[in-house]
Amino acid sequence: MKQSDTYRANAHNCAEMAAAADNEPARNRFMRMETAWLALAEEEDWLDGETSPKTDLPRSMPDPDPEKN
């Protein structure tokens, strides 16, 4: 099993725990953990040469070269 598959399995477990959580703080924590595991899986795929790097900047990040526009 590839490392990224292990990370995705961990994310799936976190999603299941979030669904079963009995309070909002726990649910939010498991959802954040799921997101983190999925991000690690994507990065691992990139490091293994299976995917291209992400080129889109998150909306919250400023344009690196505002004078281009």
What does the pLDDT look like over 27-66, one tens digit per residue?
A: 999 999 999 999 999 999 999 888 876 655 455 545 556 5
Give the residue numbers spanning the domain of 27: 1-49
Q: From 32, 44, 33, select the one nearest 6 (Cα to Cα).
A: 44
Q: Rounded to the nearest 5°, which phi and psi values hold at 20?
A: -90, -5
Q: Return d(Cα 39, Cα 35) in angstroms, integer.
A: 6
Question: Is 59 inside a domain boundary?
Answer: no
Number of compact structural domains in the chain = 1
Question: Is 67 inside a domain boundary?
Answer: no
Q: Return d(Cα 57, Cα 21) in angstroms, integer.
A: 32
Question: Is 68 inside a domain boundary?
Answer: no
Question: Is 60 inside a domain boundary?
Answer: no
Burial of 62 from C-beta contacts in 10 A (0-12 / 13-18 / 19+): exposed
pTM > 0.75 = no
Question: Is 61 inside a domain boundary?
Answer: no
What does the pLDDT look like over 25-34, one tens digit per residue?
A: 999 999 999 9
What is residue 57's predicted lDDT score, i.e. its pLDDT?
46
Question: Is 3 inside a domain boundary?
Answer: yes
